[in-house]
Amino acid sequence: MTLGDFAAPEFERRRDLLEKALLQAIAAPEVEAVHKVRTSWRRLEAAVKLLPWLPPKRRWEDFRLRMKSVMQSSAELRDRDNALIRLKGFEPLCLAMEGQRRLWEPEFHRRAEAMFPYSLALRKRFPSEALHDATATAKRIIDDLEIKTAAERSRLGPGSRTEEWHRFRILTKRERYSLEFFSGINDQYANRAEFIKGRQDILGAVEDVVAAERVARAAAPAKRLIREALEFLAVELRQKLEALDVMA
């Protein structure tokens, strides 16, 4: 199988999943719907980073910039959803965060709706790279990503800052989504992606705690009103970072 024969239908499948997720979130921007928009876009974006010749360049750039705007507004919803889950027992603070979330919903709705005139299509002609063997190309790409991820992990350890773990998280995301993209070629890629998901869950939890603190401060600027919530988050962050220190 050539790389083009494999990649073209996979790209179209991911594009269709993103459009479906956008429609569902426009109808009801609830927690899971917003999450699906974000993950669907990340998977489509990962495919184009792997094989940038799949969509027409100018159309892709236009689409990507508009999706960046959608992702910014969806992040405001996601961060508040996450904070509401983590700080469930702090009722006055949660009421303030719920109010902020409602303020962001119309903006997310507007940006998501604006995506639909900008549907993506495949290129009419692919470059010669598309004729390469899909299995060999997948192995080369995956091996390269694994080396980069392992090198970044070797630089981390006790005392590493959350920003450094965040960079590692971005790399593991890219590796996981690349493995998922090529999982139709090799079953081992799907197994590896599932393993990395467990690592991502820990990394994501650190990111979520940091975001929850930011949202809590924005909802109640006076520190005395949220002192207990911040202390609670500080303990959780310390526990997550300790889990990262021993992560394989």
Q: Sketch the domain layout of the chain as residue ranges.
A: 3-118+129-245
CATH class (in words) of the domain with range 3-118+129-245:
mainly alpha
Dihedral angle over CA of 164, 165, 170, 175, nearest 10? 120
**Dihedrals φ, ψ of 133, to 5°?**
-65, 130
Instruction: Reduce the secondary structure of the chain to three states and give it as a string.
Output: CEHHHHHHHHHHHHHHHHHHHHHHHHHCCCHHHHHHHHHHHHHHHHHHHHCCCCCCHHHHHHHHHHHHHHHHHHHHHHHHHHHHHHCCCCHHHHHHHHHHHHHHHHHHHHHHHCCCCCCCCCCCCCCHHHHCEHHHHHHHHHHHHHHHHHHHHHCCCCCCCHHHHHHHHHHHHHHHHHHHHCCCCCHHHHHHHHHHHHHHHHHHHHHHHHHHHHHHHHHCCCHHHHHHHHHHHHHHHHHHHHHHHCCC
Question: What pLDDT does 66 receive?
Answer: 94
How many angstroms separate the CA atoms of 38 and 124, rounded?
Answer: 28
Q: What is the pLDDT tens value at each position of the chain, 248 positions in all?
A: 899 999 999 999 999 999 999 999 999 999 999 999 999 999 999 999 999 999 999 999 999 999 999 999 999 999 999 999 999 888 888 999 999 999 999 999 999 999 988 888 888 888 888 899 999 999 999 999 999 999 988 888 777 888 888 889 999 999 999 999 999 998 899 999 998 988 888 888 888 888 998 898 888 766 666 888 888 888 888 888 777 766 65
Question: What pLDDT does 247 receive?
Answer: 61
Other C-beta atoms closer than 10 Å to the C-beta of 191 total: 12
